[in-house]
């Protein structure tokens, strides 16, 4: 029996039809060729002129041939090296890695107050990112105050390397020197290894919607691409403010900005791996603020991930929510985000630990997001069994009507694989719960406290640690 069910919403299973994918692509070609993209970096503008593209002031118009060439060279597989080889990541179109958020100016304390983040907060969160297995790619979840601008980026990368041996995020070109020192390589080695798909860090370049790339972000793009650092090309057009008040319109604009930046990366280094930014947002028209936790954002995330797959590109989204505190809204929106991203096979999902869009961070939220990640990762697994179908049929027949499977050897052999057992989410009876009066946020904070108490610094060369400590002094004093 093979019937078509008219009640199945196929739009949920596939957010875009093939015709819509084609429409987005052709609209993108038209806009980039007829309208173009504003580029604030003179070196990139000169690259465009040298390739015979039409450049009107600082607006570059991209031809279809240029776009197709860039799409044909961008890599979708590479090895992301970590200081500890056991934490290396092998990226491919069927791989999903989860990481921390970045650059929140505020920290939510265990007692629920909000204050400016410090260097000490940064290090504590990095230690948690190192300790939580679900967090594969730690990052600068908070942007610490009271550290001079000339010192703060070096502080964040040096602290990352000292307190974690997982892959590093680079923010500025100057970070490359510290990363080379930490990995024991030269810049030339970094460039040569990139030719064989071995990369030593990752970076993000944000366009300025609509259709613009600033001088500074253009410089980051060139610095990272030159050294073979994979780049997340991350527009965030907000529906109704920096993007059209239309789902398809915002998807087209997002696609234009990603492909425009993609061309630039391939001019600097053909074959550079990039991540397609699957992260258009909504807007609250009452406050004109961008919103990230709503259903329209998830719809655009899933559709953008589909466009990335269409082009054969890796994709990147974000575990983000709009809740001010670690409450039901924060959990609901974060889980919605994670499940959507895993369903769409997004390849890199940073953002764990964030609250209030990107404004705040919380130790408890980071711990809870790690648990949500385990839920979503299990959910995304295909329905496969380690036992054969014949074995299962035989078991059902042998057990028969009114039997049970509790005492079956099959149950003892498979329950750890088949059943997910959360660490923090409660499944006890009401009576047991009343005795402890469990509070999920408090439990998460308790886990964070225990992880910090038992944290052990990953092995690191003493001379390297001493040199990194100097970069950390502006944020930690002599510690």
**pLDDT above 70 for 4:** no
**pLDDT above 70 for 56:** yes
Encode pLDDT of 367-419 as tens digits. 999 999 999 999 998 887 656 788 889 999 999 999 999 999 999 988 998 99
Q: Is 418 within 8 Å of 399 (Cβ atoms)?
A: no
Indicate the pairing of strand 54-56 with strand 59-61. Answer: antiparallel
Quote the pLDDT of residue 433.
85
The structure tokens listed for 267 are 């001019």
Encode pLDDT of 103-132 as tens digits. 999 999 999 999 999 999 999 999 999 999
- HSE-up of 314 (CA within 13 Å, CB side)? 26
Mean predicted confidence (pLDDT) in 271-287: 95
Q: Provide the whole-model pTM.
A: 0.94
Map out the domains of the chain with their CATH numbers.
Answer: 73-380 (3.20.20.480), 389-418 (no CATH)
Q: What percent of the chain is predicted at pLDDT more than 70?
A: 96
Q: What percent of the chain is predicted at pLDDT more than 90?
A: 88
**Which carries the bigger pLDDT value, residue 346 or residue 477?**
346
DSSP 238: B
| Residue 314, helix vs strand vs coil | strand
Say if residue 375 is exposed, middle or buried (CB neighbours under 10 Å; 0-12, 13-18, 19+). middle
**pLDDT above 90 for 325:** yes
Question: Mean of the per-residue pLDDT values for the chain?
Answer: 94
| Band (430; pLDDT cuts 50, 70, 90) | confident
Order of strands across the sheet that contains 212-213? 54-56, 59-61, 37-39, 212-213
Alpha carbon distance 339, 145 (integer Å): 34
Q: Is 114 within 8 Å of 360 (Cβ atoms)?
A: yes
Question: Where is average pLDDT lowest: 16-20, 249-253, 274-278, 425-429?
Answer: 425-429
**pLDDT above 60 for 9:** no
Mean predicted confidence (pLDDT) in 60-89: 98
Q: How many CB atoms lie within 10 A of CB 410?
A: 15
The structure tokens listed for 166 are 């997982």
| Band (91; pLDDT cuts 50, 70, 90) | very high
| Band (2; pLDDT cuts 50, 70, 90) | very low
355 φ/ψ sector (left φ>0, alpha ψ -120 to 50, else beta)? beta
Quote the pLDDT of residue 5.
52
Quote the pLDDT of residue 386.
59
| Band (6; pLDDT cuts 50, 70, 90) | low
| Distances from the Cα of 250 to the Cα of 176, 229, 285, angstroms | 34, 28, 16
Quote the pLDDT of residue 443.
94
Q: φ, ψ for residue 80 (rounded to 5)?
A: -95, 110
**Which carries the bigger pLDDT value, residue 212 or residue 476?**
212
Task: Return the H-helix or E-strand segment holding 302.
Answer: helix 295-311
Quote the pLDDT of residue 387.
64
Encode pLDDT of 155-203 as tens digits. 999 999 999 999 999 999 999 999 999 999 999 999 999 999 999 999 9
**Which residues does 254 contact at the CB level (< 8 Å), separation at least 6?**
235, 237, 243, 277, 279, 280, 300, 304
């Amino acid at each position: 029996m093979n019937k078509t069910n008219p009640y199945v919403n196929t739009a949920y299973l596939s957010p875009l039809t093939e015709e819509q994918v084609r429409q987005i692509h052709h609209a993108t070609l038209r806009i980039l060729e007829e309208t173009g993209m504003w580029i604030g970096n003179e070196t990139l503008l000169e690259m465009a002129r040298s390739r015979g593209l039409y450049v009107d002031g600082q607006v570059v118009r991209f031809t279809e041939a240029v776009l197709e060439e860039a799409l044909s060279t961008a890599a979708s597989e590479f090895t992301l090296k970590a200081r500890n080889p056991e934490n290396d990541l092998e990226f491919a179109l069927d791989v999903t890695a989860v990481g921390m958020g970045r650059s929140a100016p505020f920290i939510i304390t265990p007692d629920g107050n909000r204050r400016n983040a410090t260097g000490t907060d940064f290090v504590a969160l990095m230690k948690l990112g190192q300790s939580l297995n679900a967090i594969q790619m730690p990052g600068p979840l908070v942007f610490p105050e009271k550290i001079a601008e000339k010192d703060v980026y070096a502080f964040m990368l040096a602290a990352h390397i000292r307190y974690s041996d997982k892959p590093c995020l680079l923010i500025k070109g100057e970070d490359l020197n510290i990363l080379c020192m930490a990995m024991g390589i030269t810049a030339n080695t970094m460039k040569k290894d990139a030719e064989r798909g071995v990369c030593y860090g990752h970076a993000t370049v944000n366009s300025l919607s609509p259709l613009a790339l600033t001088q500074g972000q253009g410089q980051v793009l060139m610095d990272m691409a030159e050294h073979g650092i994979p780049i997340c090309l991350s527009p965030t057009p907000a529906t109704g403010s920096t993007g059209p008040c239309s789902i398809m319109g915002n998807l087209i604009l997002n696609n234009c900005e990603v492909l425009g930046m993609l061309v630039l990366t391939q001019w600097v280094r053909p074959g550079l791996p990039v991540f397609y930014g699957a992260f258009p947002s909504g807007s609250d028209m009452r406050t004109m603020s961008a919103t990230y936790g709503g259903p329209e954002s998830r719809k655009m995330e899933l559709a953008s991930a589909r466009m990335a797959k269409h082009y054969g590109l890796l994709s990147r989204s974000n575990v983000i929510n709009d809740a001010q505190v670690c409450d039901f809204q924060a959990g609901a929106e974060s889980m919605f985000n994670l499940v959507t991203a895993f369903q769409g096979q997004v390849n890199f999902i940073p953002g764990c630990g964030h609250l209030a869009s990107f404004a705040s961070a919380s130790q408890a939220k980071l711990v809870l997001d790690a648990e949500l990640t385990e839920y979503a990762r299990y959910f995304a697994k295909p329905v496969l069994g380690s036992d054969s179908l014949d074995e299962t049929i035989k078991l059902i027949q042998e057990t028969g009507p009114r039997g049970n499977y509790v005492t079956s050897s099959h149950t003892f052999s498979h329950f750890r694989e088949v059943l997910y057992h959360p660490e923090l989410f409660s499944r006890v009876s009401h009576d047991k719960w009343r005795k402890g009066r469990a509070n999920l946020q408090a439990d998460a904070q308790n886990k964070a406290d225990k992880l910090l108490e038992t944290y052990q610094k990953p092995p690191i060369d003493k001379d390297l640690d001493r040199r990194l400590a100097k970069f950390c002094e502006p944020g930690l004093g002599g510690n």
